[in-house]
Amino acid sequence: MNVDSIRNGIVIDHIKAGLGMKLYDLLELGKLEYPVAMITKVTSKKMGRKDIIKIDAVFDVNLDIIGYVDPGATVNIIRNGELIEKKQIEIPRKLINVIRCKNPRCITSCEQEIQHVFRLTDPESKEYRCVYCEAKAATL
């Protein structure tokens, strides 16, 4: 399979195979007016299989979302056809409005303007808990 390179944009690379669509949805890439290429289960020497997302535009991508879904991913910034920056993504310590609290008793359930804030409580298992009610976030 051959996908053309982009001149100015973002390439999210080294996504664990099967997680690309989750990233696509959480980053709301379907709402963009720019071309977006999703390549799934590409052969990778390092990973075996991986997903790649290419976005033919430069914009501020939410690195916390990428880190939540796959902290091993990389974000490459392309300008004039050249790689100008490669960001290694890490698991975020805090998530704001990335996931929603499922606890019906949580204040976020009745107060619509309150942000959904989760903090990382266990990096090994990627466990997040709501800062308001301590409810455990649903896993991906």
Contact 46, 56 (CB under 8 A): no
Q: What angle do CA 36, 16, 88 make, to 5 degrees?
A: 80
Q: Please identify which residue in the block is written with the tokens 């959904």.
A: 116
Q: How far is 38 from 122, CA to CA, in rounded Å?
A: 31
Query: In the chain, what are the domain boundaries?
Result: 9-88, 94-130
- Give pLDDT, residue 140: 73
Phi then psi for 26, rounded to 5 degrees?
Answer: -65, -35
**Residue closest to 122 by CA, chosen among 93, 102, 100, 95:** 93
Q: How far is 140 from 130, CA to CA, in rounded Å?
A: 16
- Give pLDDT, residue 5: 79
- Give pLDDT, residue 47: 87
**Which residues neighbour 67 within 8 Å (Cβ) at sequence distance 6 or greater?**
73, 89, 90, 91, 92
- Give pLDDT, residue 3: 61
pLDDT average per 10 residues of sequence, the chain (140 residues): 77 96 95 93 91 92 95 94 93 95 93 94 95 91
CATH class of 9-88: alpha beta
The H or E element that residue 9 is part of is strand 9-16
